[in-house]
Structure 1
Amino acid sequence: MSGVRWLNAEEQRVWRAFMTAVTKFSEHLDRQLQRDSGMPMAYYEILVALSEAEGRAMRMSELAAVCHSSRSRLSHAVARLEKEGWVARRACPSDRRGSIAELTEEGFAVLEAAAPGHVTAVREHLFDVLSGEQLRVLAEISRAIDSGLTVECAKAREELAEL
């Protein structure tokens, strides 16, 4: 393909090292949560988001955005969390089409029990293996990647809205 800026050998090494590290780290965190708390990382992220929201409740559409999830995937996950008794769903009083997910007391207790193991895994495999300077650079790099993707995602949403 003409016009494609192919990766050179060094860029290929960086790209593959980055993807390997991110994938292994994510898989490790997911396995730790499954083993110690009986939930996948995606469920933990939902519980965390709700625990940090005002009143421990959030509109489903907002929760999907916060968790970087599609609405259908989030709805499926929340349905599973409802079956566990960790989340309750209710109608949105200001918009009948919308619904609100709320963290239950049982869900908060499950989150509190899961958090120490999760934080330990994050600390051991991210913060403890990097120097202070590496962490500063990682934060800078992460913000740059996020910023570029945020702009790209906003453009994509605008294009979809025009269809």
Structure 2
Amino acid sequence: MAEPHKSGPRDADAETLSRLWERVVPMFTSLEGQLDALLTRRHGIGLGPLMALGALAGERPGPLSVSGLARRLGVSVSAASRMLAQLERSGWTSRTAWPCDRRTSRVTVTEAGLALWTRASLTLEHELDAAFRALRFDERYAHVVARLCRAGDGPPED
């Protein structure tokens, strides 16, 4: 049985984390929308499908199952399946039935998908760097970005 939530006074760390979360969500949502539009315009692929392509490219040459990809991306199996269907229609992935269980698919990135990932991931990296540099000077998000940068192994590079 789970422990009941204590409704006593909140400690300072919980309050700080709560305020940080309240800043991260709108910042992430805004940045996600901007990146999605830019990637679609420049490369013909949205942010979600690009992340799926990147997960597959990282597994190369081995395949991933649809459920494995869903876990890696933190989405439902049906959402991963829809993304993969789009990637497959575009010729960036291929799906094959697993010999031991024909109900399970194994997905691999194609050469065209790998080339797209290489180009689009450079755009993504550049835009993320630029966005975080700009957000460091936005008073609404400066403390969030500073905290995210401190979470890494070292100071951010300019």
| TM score, norm. by length of structure 1 | 0.70
Shift of 1:42: 0.8
The SS at the match of 1:55 is coil
CA distance in 2, matches of 1:56, 1:33: 26
SS of the aligned residue for 1:18 comes to: helix
Aligned to 2:29: 23
- Map of 1:45 onto structure 2: 51
RMSD over equivalenced CA pairs, Å: 3.1
Contact 2:98 2:105 in 1 (8 A): yes
8 A Cα contact 1:59 1:101, kept in partner: yes
- The SS at the match of 2:95 is strand
Distance 2:33 2:151 in 1: 19
**1:5-64: CA deviation from partner (whole Å, max 9, x where unpaired):** 899xx8786554222211111112112211211111111001100000041521111111
Count of aligned pairs between the two proteins: 138
1:103 counterpart letter in structure 2: V
1:70 aligns with 2:83: no
Cα shift at 1:133: 6.0
Q: Deviations over 1:53-98 (max 9, x none)?
A: 0415211111111111111111111111111111110011233221
Runs of 5+ unmatched residues, structure 2:
1-5, 137-141, 154-158
Higher helix share: 1
Instruction: Provide TM-score, normalisation by structure 2.
Output: 0.72
Shift of 1:121: 0.4
Alpha-carbon offset, residue 139 of structure 1? 4.6
Matches within 5 A, 1:112-123: 112-123=118-129
> Matched residues, percent identical?
26
1:51 and 1:5 mapped to 2: Cα distance?
48
Q: CA deviation at 1:102?
A: 0.8
